[in-house]
Amino acid sequence: MKQRYAYLSSLMVFAMSAFADEGMWTFDNPPSALVQQRYGSTLSPALLEHLQQSAVNFGASASFVSKDGLMLTNHHVAMSCIDKLSTAERDLQKKGYVAKKTSDELKCPGGMARVLISSDDVSEVVSTAVAAGKDDVERTALRKTVIADLESNCKQSTALQCEVVSLYHGSLYHLYRFKEWNDVRLAFAPEYQAAFFGGDADNFVYPRFALDFALFRVYEHGKPVTPKHYLKLADKPIGEGDAVFVMGHPGNTDRLQTLAQLKALRDINMPIQLASAKMQQQLLHAFSKRSPEATRQALDVLFGTENWQKALLGEYAALKDPLLIARKEADEAKFRQAYQEKGLAGDPWADIDAATAKGIAKAKEFWAVSYGHYTLFDKAGKLVELAFERQLPDSVRLSAYRDARITALERQLRADVPIYKELEAIRLAAGINEALDLLGENHPFIQATLGGKSPIVWAEAVVKKSHINEVKERVRLLEGGVKAIEASEDPLIKIALAVYPLRRELLKFKEEQIETPIKQAAEKLGQARFALYGKTLPPDATGTLRLSYGKAAAYTSNGIATPWKTTFGGLLARADGFASKVPFDLAETIAQKRSKLDPRTALNFVSTADIIGGNSGSPVVNSKGEWVGLIFDGNLESLGGRFVYTDETARALSVDAQAILYSLDQVYAAPHLAKELRVN
């Protein structure tokens, strides 16, 4: 392993000077030298441990910010919980929520928070086990077996949740240990309009004027947790040019993918996804127009759809930029030359090309043969798959049903959440209609679902008769296993039973014929990168905890100078400039307090920190590890960050800590929460 990490000092110096503020770094391999070189800040082991264990995974990112388990994240991260707690009579999205005391805090159905406690490199164990395989099918099974054993043994010995994560596209495997809590309660949320002022028009745009934050409290055994590590409020506000650090859970980046993989994304996968996003957006807008209650019911799904669509459009535009592709071509050509000069065996690029071609051939099926995203049909599908997959040894299960992942899945299925059948029928019909267009009426998936019926007539009938919306029925099926599933007369369960063999065959093909060959080839490329650069290159983001860094900085785009921060005065001016027309109308509470607001109070700011989707809710801290802000978005120029980093105009957007405290104190009558944030 030591030889794998060897690198030439001259190349290391080059890498250090070339990366600028790039990188979503793992905590075991922090960018200490880069940070010291650029900002004169020291990332000591004690500080890194503190930051790591203050960071929380709450579906996206969050952090502990008080000794009594107060947790800070974005309003849009909290939307799912807020939506589940809302009713027609108590619309928390529209009115917001303030818990005056801890007994008023509202438990999130299915809510779960977890903190990464420690990790170990288990690459040798995994690689040795996989190397014994004779072909890709056998190697896939061996990888699953050794990972399942590592996770199981870890859980038994530590009583923590354990998960093996892949880094550098399979070149490294780390065993992560998590502390989890399943009692998370809402303490504060502003109105949706305050958190998302400007709506979809302002999404991924800067200057921005959003109070996109929410506060939760994490409980254990009915009492607030007292975390060993939590972030303290900074003594002074963030200033222009100040160094900042971001801890969070960025989703997936593709900076280390080959040119063939990026072109497949651009030419095949993204057009399918964009068409789907546009279709879903249109049907959700149409449903929302039916009534105010329909608007409330669709809000969370619509927000997620529009956010996904706009991010996709930015990423798609980046991949269509000839300059980006030219840069990738040049980088790959240099890497190929270095690979050949070292005399390394094989042609991993050709292997990836061949596997990618198989993925292209089945791209429509991979997308269409599904139960839908967070739908009632999806719940039925998960019940069916969970029942059958958990009967199998880990070595042959679908990856989503490894033992380490089942606990979270069961928690979701047991959560008592509101489900709106009229909306579900429309979403199901649209999804099946989309599959019909992509696959044709003779495809087995269409025959197993529609069976020649009209999508909307079929969807309305099966959703109306289904009882999967009832938590007691889901629990009954969950606990009854295969026997209960096979005996069920629920129409959605019956359809899911028919679809499951098709999905399983398709997903196994994907794992064995596409993902495993790519992992094997990517491991060779990863080893070659290590030989050249060691760990001076950060791995692609994978949804696991990472550390980014940068500075608060203004920028100029298209000849327009853009300030590094915005203020409450700017919020009022933007509302006035649009005559307070939706979506530029002030939230009710802010409008009521308008005359008393200090227009100079900081609201949002931007930095060069390297982020991507999943970083939402990440705390922004200064060199001392004190929190100064809260990541909530990136600007339009940052959307190409999935493929390549730049700090010229790409910026991470944050809510200023001063805005959070000021709004709690002066706007929302929640000084007790502001005091708790300050007291630490």
How far apart are alpha carbons 27 and 296 in whole angstroms? 40
- Tell me the two tokens of residue 574: 């933007």
How far apart are alpha carbons 359 and 517 in whole angstroms? 12
For 166-213, the pLDDT digits (tens) are 988 777 899 999 999 999 999 999 999 999 999 999 999 999 999 999
How far apart are alpha carbons 152 and 160 in whole angstroms? 10
Of 185, 17, 20, 9, nearest to 97 (Cα)? 185
Place 534 in a pLDDT band, splitting at 50, 70 and 90.
Answer: low
Of 675, 666, 631, nearest to 248 (Cα)? 631
DSSP string, 187-248: EEE--HHHHTTTHHHHTT-SS------EEEEEEETTEE---S--PPBPSS---TT-EEEEEE
Sequence spans of domains, the chain: 22-112+182-253+544-633+646-679, 117-178, 259-522
Quote the pLDDT of residue 17. 37
- Tell me the two tokens of residue 209: 């004027």
Three-state DSSP state, 671? helix
Q: Residue 1: is its pLDDT beyond 50?
A: no
What contacts 581, CB < 8 A, 6 or more positions away? none
| Average pLDDT over all residues of the chain | 93
Quote the pLDDT of residue 20. 73
Instruction: Say how far residue 126 (Cα) sits from the centre of its chain.
Output: 26
For 408-448, the pLDDT digits (tens) are 899 999 999 999 999 999 999 999 999 999 999 999 999 99
Place 300 in a pLDDT band, splitting at 50, 70 and 90.
Answer: very high
What contacts 562, CB < 8 A, 6 or more positions away? 206, 207, 554, 555, 556, 606
Of 224, 226, 219, 244, nearest to 234 (Cα)? 244
Q: 38 forms bridges with which residues in the sheet?
A: none
Range from 5-19, 338-352, 617-631 carrying the lowest mean pLDDT = 5-19
For 248-289, the pLDDT digits (tens) are 999 999 988 999 999 999 999 999 999 999 999 999 999 999
Quote the pLDDT of residue 12. 31
- What is 22-112+182-253+544-633+646-679's CATH topology? Thrombin, subunit H (2.40.10)
For 13-48, the pLDDT digits (tens) are 333 334 478 999 999 999 999 999 999 999 999 999
What contacts 5, CB < 8 A, 6 or more positions away? 530, 534, 535
Place 610 in a pLDDT band, splitting at 50, 70 and 90.
Answer: very high
How far apart are alpha carbons 135 and 219 in whole angstroms? 48
For 585-598, the pLDDT digits (tens) are 999 999 999 999 99
Cβ–Cβ < 8 Å for 3, 527:
no
Our CA angle for 385, 387, 388, nearest 5°, is 70
- Tell me the two tokens of residue 640: 């190409």
- Tell me the two tokens of residue 680: 């630490």
How far apart are alpha carbons 557 and 600 in whole angstroms? 25
Three-state DSSP state, 7? coil
Q: Is the dihedral of CA 673, 675, 677, 680 positive or negative?
A: negative
